[in-house]
Structure formats: structure tokens, C-alpha cells
């Protein structure tokens, strides 16, 4: 869980300003470069966020949209970066010890985490399609720290149905459970028990709730960083303008007397 929190914190600091672009007016958004747009798309897809849309703006997903989001998730480069980072932490901690060190051990840990992630996402997608659940994160639109935090924590275990109401997310619980317990099939003896699967399930659900709090406040952070960036650019333009003005005055020829 600590590994995931560290990675998400890095993502927030690196991509926070990009998220703010989603709330800009269309004319400003058109000026964003293609790499920035892709970065925003990758981040929102990885975090399973509905952009900066609020809960009041919810509309049901079509099956095509649901399938498109799932496919993007499975090939999202941030997912592979997270897998590689988590695998490195497990390698450092020699977890599980049966896989030892070296490239072979790192490869096993990478495939293990990628397998759990893929099972989780795939089962969640299948159940959500069947039950018409939407697990995307929508900003609360609420005021006050505790109201927003309470909404975010509950969003870690709730999903919206087509009518917009939130219920316990069978698809998310089922996906996390599938990833936690089915992966025991290839885990070594030190991680093979049902108890180990239960621990993994509990950590994943707790992480979902913690990450939801970060998702709630991520657009706010993005807007703050974006304002600071705009302010810095304005000051730079003013300084550049003054320098150019001074240079122009210095090269103006002086009149000579006849």
C-alpha cells in the first residue's frame, strides 16, 4: 500500500497541472499540445477518473465507452510503470523470498503484479458490464474538507448504476477479490494461503479508499499549480517586455546639430 501511495503522490505532483487543463475553456484547451493531452488521458484513465466531472454531471456509460475505457486501461503505460516500481520495491524487500534476487526474480515479481492487476481489471470490467455499474470517480461538488473526504472514502467501495444512485460496487469487490485470491495459484508457499489472499484483498480495498481521497482533491491541486505557472509566465513576459523596451531605447539614434 505504501508503494502505491508513493507512486500516486509522484503522479499527482508531475501530472497535477495537466489535470487542470481539463477545466479550461475550449479555446485554451485547443492550445494544449498533443503530448500534454495524452498525458492527461493516461493519468485520468489510470486513476479511473471521469475527468473533472462532478457527481451532478453523471450520465450512464454506453457499452462501447465502457469497453474503450477497459482497453485503454490494459495498455496504459502508467500501469506498467507502476508495476515496474512495485516490483522493484518487492525485489528490495525480497518478497517473496522464494523468488530470490537477480533479473529472474524481478521478472517473476513483475509478472505476478501485472497478473493480479490484469485479473482485477478484467473481472471488474465483466461484472460492471453485466450489472451496469460505473466505477469511475466523479468529484463530489461538495464544500468543506470533511464532507468531501467522507464522500471520497465511500467512493472506494461504491459504484453508480444507470440511474445515478450509488450502491456497494459488486464489480470492484469481485475484481479485487479475484486478483487477490486467484493469484495464489502461482504464488510460492510463503504467500499461498487463503489468509494471504485476504490480506491482499484488504490492503487493495483500503488503498482504493485512500486513493479516492487523492482523486477528490487532485483537480484542486492542478488548478493551484496551473495558476502559479500562469503567474510565473506573466512575470516572465513583463520582464521580457521591459528588457526589449530598454534595448529599443538604447539603439534609437540621437539627432546631431547641423
Task: Note the pLDDT tens digit of each residue in 84-142.
Answer: 999 999 999 999 999 989 999 999 999 999 999 999 999 999 999 999 999 999 999 89
Instruction: Find how far residue 172's CA is from the centre of its chain.
Output: 16
Q: In the beta sheet, which residues pair with residue 49?
A: 137
52 within 8 A of 23, measured Cβ to Cβ: yes
- Going by C-beta distance under 8 Å and a sequence separation of 6 or more, which residues neighbour residue 32? 21, 24
Indicate the average pLDDT of the chain.
82
Query: For residue range 46-90, what is the model confidence (pLDDT) as tens digits?
Result: 888 888 788 999 999 999 999 999 999 999 998 999 899 999 999
Residue 165 vs residue 29, higher pLDDT: 165
Beta bridge partners of 139: 54
Q: What are phi and psi of 24, to 5 degrees?
A: -80, 160
As a whole-number percent, the residues of the chain with pLDDT over 90 amount to 52
Give pLDDT tens digits for 246-257. Answer: 666 666 555 555
Confidence of residue 44 (pLDDT cuts 50, 70, 90): confident
Rounded distance, CA 4 to CA 197, Å? Answer: 18
Average pLDDT over residues 199-220: 89
Report the predicted TM-score, pTM, of the whole model to 2 decimal places.
Answer: 0.75
pLDDT > 70 fraction of the chain, expressed in percent and rounded = 72
Which segment of 43-57, 173-187, 213-227 scores lowest on mean pLDDT? 213-227
User: What's the chain's length in residues?
Assistant: 258
Give the residue extent of every domain in the chain: 2-222
Amino acid at each position: 500500500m505504501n508503494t502505491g501511495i508513493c507512486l500516486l503522490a509522484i503522479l499527482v505532483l508531475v501530472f497535477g497541472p495537466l489535470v487542470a487543463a481539463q477545466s479550461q475553456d475550449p479555446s485554451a484547451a485547443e492550445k494544449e499540445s498533443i503530448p500534454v493531452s495524452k498525458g492527461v488521458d493516461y493519468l485520468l484513465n489510470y486513476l479511473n477518473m471521469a475527468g473533472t466531472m462532478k457527481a451532478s454531471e453523471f450520465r450512464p456509460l454506453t457499452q462501447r465507452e465502457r469497453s474503450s475505457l477497459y482497453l485503454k486501461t490494459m495498455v496504459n503505460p502508467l500501469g506498467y510503470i507502476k508495476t515496474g516500481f512495485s516490483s522493484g520495491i518487492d525485489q528490495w524487500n525480497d518478497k517473496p523470498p522464494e523468488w530470490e534476487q537477480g533479473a529472474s526474480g524481478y521478472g517473476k515479481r513483475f509478472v505476478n503484479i501485472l497478473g493480479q492487476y490484469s485479473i482485477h481489471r478484467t473481472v471488474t470490467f465483466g461484472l460492471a458490464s453485466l450489472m451496469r455499474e460505473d466505477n469511475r470517480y466523479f468529484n463530489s461538488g461538495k464544500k468543506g474538507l470533511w464532507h468531501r473526504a467522507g464522500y471520497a472514502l465511500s467512493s472506494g467501495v461504491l459504484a453508480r448504476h444507470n440511474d445515478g444512485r450509488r450502491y456497494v460496487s459488486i464489480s470492484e469487490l469481485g475484481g479485487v477479490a479475484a486478483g487477490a485470491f486467484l493469484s495464489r495459484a502461482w504464488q510460492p508457499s510463503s504467500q499461498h494461503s487463503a489468509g494471504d489472499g485476504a490480506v491482499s484483498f484488504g490492503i487493495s480495498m483500503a488503498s482504493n479508499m485512500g486513493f479516492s481521497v487523492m482523486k477528490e482533491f487532485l483537480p484542486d491541486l492542478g488548478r493551484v499549480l496551473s495558476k502559479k505557472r500562469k503567474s510565473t509566465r506573466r512575470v516572465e513576459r513583463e520582464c521580457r517586455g521591459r528588457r526589449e523596451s530598454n534595448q529599443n531605447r538604447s539603439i534609437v539614434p540621437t539627432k546631431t546639430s547641423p
